[in-house]
């Protein structure tokens, strides 16, 4: 049998489970109330009977059986809620409000009993009511029975039991109704999420779950799902972009390579040209293509991974000093004044290899574009925001302000550097490394125009506060 959908939902099943637990707990509670109430009523009746018995026994001991008989008659006449029976030692009735003792056997010990009395009501109908009583032997051998009608107590307890059952039924009805309502609500939000998952599974990566602003876990789930999809979409876009970029960056050098090889081939067929030179050039061109390919691949991998692998906490000064040590002779050789200013005792978290490569790329670029007689400055410092900034400033031609944002974008190169294989990808790789560390790249003008050089470029590689 197939149940209606609502009965198959998890919230409804949970509701049923909790309802069962609740009903069990409520039943136990009600049973306790019943036992306590009924027990208390019986105990009070018994005590009243005992008190009446003591008072009568007291009268007997003070003044004898006739005085007791007198007291019984007075008390019965005073409409006290008790039943009395005084019997002589041989068991015959002396006086009393009931005809005979409800005890069939009496061994002389005080004995409690529950019994029923029969009465005629106002319409003359016989009604039987429950009663309880105590019989005990008096000093002179007579037996005295004192009882009480407990019919009203029982009626009261019956009312309570009925009310309790009503409460249980009400709880179950309300619980079921609540379960249905909650299930419907949850199902509706779940249906939204399931719908999104289904759409994504069918290839619609733009599908997003509705966030209702209730800040509950359903919203959290929806937000998580959306963030996951955003990231997935970015990765896919990154990969697509990488594909386009690889095609773009490799097409022109490959075309050039092919053209040169073809020209050399024609030359060689015609008996002129230098095969050794042609091959050497071809190898050089191929290396350029491979270098570009490697850079593009690294960028794509970093972007696909989202964050750089193997990140450790370390002192950025050591890293910068090592790189400075590597590039300082090159600068000196080119007649460039190299200086570094490295703040001590900073901490950054990152992949040392990627960060070293990023710094090396920045210095490569600076050396490439700074003319002899210029200057390059490598700096590591802490920003007031707590971020750590590596910066390379040169006195080369710089990058026009309009182009700066574009240069940092992935795979974008300035037109005038298009013909140098791999160039420009350097900065893109640096930007990808920064992004993979949760950081960013900022380009600004260098020290300004001096003579015919400048205004220079300052590239700041900013890493977030570590820890």
Tokens 């429950």 belong to residue: 130
> Each residue of 20-31: b (16+ CB within 10 Å) or e?
eeeeeeeeeebe
d(CA 3, CA 25): 28
> Residue 443 CB, nearest distance to other proteins (Å)?
19
> Residue 372 CB, nearest distance to other proteins (Å)?
14
Judged by CB, which is closer to other proteins: 65, or 300? 300
> Residue 180 CB, nearest distance to other proteins (Å)?
54
d(CA 317, CA 320): 5
Judged by CB, which is closer to other proteins: 178, or 329? 329
From the list 380, 437, 431, the residue with the least C-alpha distance to 405 is 431
d(CA 390, CA 205): 37
Judged by CB, which is closer to other proteins: 83, or 300? 300
Judged by CB, which is closer to other proteins: 367, or 432? 367
> Residue 290 CB, nearest distance to other proteins (Å)?
6
How far is the first Cα of the chain from the last one, in angstroms, to the nearest whole number? Answer: 58
- Cα-based distances in Å from 322 to 196, 325, 342, 359, 379: 51, 5, 11, 10, 13
> Residue 361 CB, nearest distance to other proteins (Å)?
7
Judged by CB, which is closer to other proteins: 161, or 257? 257
d(CA 56, CA 50): 10
Judged by CB, which is closer to other proteins: 301, or 381? 301
Strands (E), 315-403: 337-342, 348-350, 375-382, 388-394
User: How is residue 424 annotated by DSSP?
Assistant: T
> Residue 359 CB, nearest distance to other proteins (Å)?
10
Under DSSP, is residue 133 helix (H, G, I), strand (E, B) or coil?
A: strand
Tokens 């270098």 belong to residue: 291
Neighbours of 430 (CB within 10 A): 26
> Each residue of 374-387: b (16+ CB within 10 Å) or e?
bbbbbbbebeeeeb
Beta carbons of 413 and 426 less than 8 angstroms apart:
no
Judged by CB, which is closer to other proteins: 72, or 432? 432
Residues listed for the chain: 467
**Residues of this chain that bind other proteins (CB under 8 A):** 287, 290-291, 294, 297-298, 301, 309-310, 322, 325-327, 329-330, 332-333, 351, 353-354, 356-357, 360-361, 364, 367-368, 422-423, 426
> Residue 298 CB, nearest distance to other proteins (Å)?
8
Q: Which two tokens stand for residue 269?
A: 């067929």
> Residue 457 CB, nearest distance to other proteins (Å)?
16
Beta carbons of 421 and 358 less than 8 angstroms apart:
no
Judged by CB, which is closer to other proteins: 354, or 390? 354
Judged by CB, which is closer to other proteins: 60, or 327? 327
Q: Which two tokens stand for residue 225?
A: 């799902």
> Residue 226 CB, nearest distance to other proteins (Å)?
30
Q: Which two tokens stand for residue 82?
A: 């008790």
> Residue 409 CB, nearest distance to other proteins (Å)?
20
Judged by CB, which is closer to other proteins: 179, or 396? 396
């Amino acid at each position: 049998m197939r149940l209606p959908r609502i009965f198959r939902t998890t919230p409804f099943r949970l509701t049923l489970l909790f309802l069962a637990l609740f009903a069990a707990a409520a039943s136990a509670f009600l049973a306790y109330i019943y036992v306590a109430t009924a027990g208390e009523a019986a105990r009070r009746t018994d005590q009243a009977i005992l008190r009446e018995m003591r008072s009568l026994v007291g009268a007997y001991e003070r003044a004898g059986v006739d005085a007791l008989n007198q007291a019984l008659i007075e008390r019965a006449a005073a409409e006290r809620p008790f039943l009395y029976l005084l019997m002589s030692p041989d068991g015959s009735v002396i006086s009393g409000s009931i005809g005979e003792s409800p005890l069939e056997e009496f061994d002389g010990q005080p004995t409690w009993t529950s019994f029923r009395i029969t009465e005629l009501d106002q319409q003359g109908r016989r009604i039987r009511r429950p009663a309880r009583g105590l019989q005990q032997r008096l000093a002179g051998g007579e037996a005295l029975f004192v009882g009480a009608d407990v019919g009203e107590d029982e009626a009261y307890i019956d009312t309570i039991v009925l009310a309790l059952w009503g409460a249980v039924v009400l709880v179950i009805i309300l619980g079921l109704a609540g379960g249905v309502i909650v299930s419907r609500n949850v199902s509706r939000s779940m249906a939204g999420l399931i719908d999104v998952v289904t759409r994504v599974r069918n290839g619609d990566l733009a599908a997003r779950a509705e966030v209702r602003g209730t800040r509950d876990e359903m919203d959290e789930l929806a937000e998580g799902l959306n963030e996951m999809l955003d990231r997935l979409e970015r990765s896919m876009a990154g990969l697509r972009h990488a594909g386009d970029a690889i095609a773009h960056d490799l097409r022109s050098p490959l075309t050039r390579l092919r053209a040169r090889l073809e020209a050399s081939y024609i030359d060689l067929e015609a008996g002129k040209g230098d095969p050794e030179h042609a091959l050497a050039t071809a190898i050089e061109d191929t290396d350029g293509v491979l270098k570009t390919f490697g850079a593009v691949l690294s960028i794509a991998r970093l972007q696909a991974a989202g964050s750089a692998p193997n990140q450790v906490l370390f002192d950025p000064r050591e890293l910068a000093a090592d790189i400075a040590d590597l590039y300082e002779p090159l600068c000196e050789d080119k007649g460039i004044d190299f200086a570094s200013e490295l703040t001590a005792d900073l901490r950054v978290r990152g992949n040392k290899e990627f960060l070293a490569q990023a710094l090396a790329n920045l210095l490569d670029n600076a050396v490439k574009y700074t003319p002899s007689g210029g200057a390059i400055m490598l700096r590591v410092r802490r920003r007031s925001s707590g971020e750590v900034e590596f910066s390379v400033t040169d006195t080369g031609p710089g990058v026009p302000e309009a182009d700066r944002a574009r240069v940092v974008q992935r795979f974008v190169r300035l037109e005038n550097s298009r013909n140098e294989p791999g160039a420009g990808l350097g900065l893109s790789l640096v930007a990808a490394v920064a992004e993979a560390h949760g950081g960013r790249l900022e380009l600004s003008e260098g020290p300004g125009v001096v003579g015919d050089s400048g205004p220079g470029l300052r590239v700041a590689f900013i890493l977030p506060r570590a820890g």
